[in-house]
Amino acid sequence: MPDCPICGKPLEPPTVKCANCGAELHRACAKRTMGKVYCKKCFREGKKQTRYERMAQRDAWGGNKPGEMW
């Protein structure tokens, strides 16, 4: 059984899978956002990426307010 990449303890249910890299981690260790769960690393990466995407999408959205902030 692999260890949780976040806390380093053996994985035991309830576990979730990172929506980005597929890493298994404790539900309590996962970061939840936009209805998906991410590991710490991907959450940080996703934050960066989302910021860029928001900037790129701002025109396409026609000035709509961005959704829920991080």
**Binding positions for Zn ion, rule: CB under 5 A:** 4, 6-7, 18, 20-21, 23, 26, 29, 39, 42
CB of 41 to Zn ion, least distance (A): 5
At 11 the three-state DSSP class reads coil
CB closer to Zn ion, 16 vs 39: 39
Closest C-alpha among 57, 50, 28, 30 to residue 41: 30
Phi and psi of 54, rounded to 5°? -60, -45
CB of 20 to Zn ion, least distance (A): 5
At 53 the three-state DSSP class reads helix
CB of 59 to Zn ion, least distance (A): 30
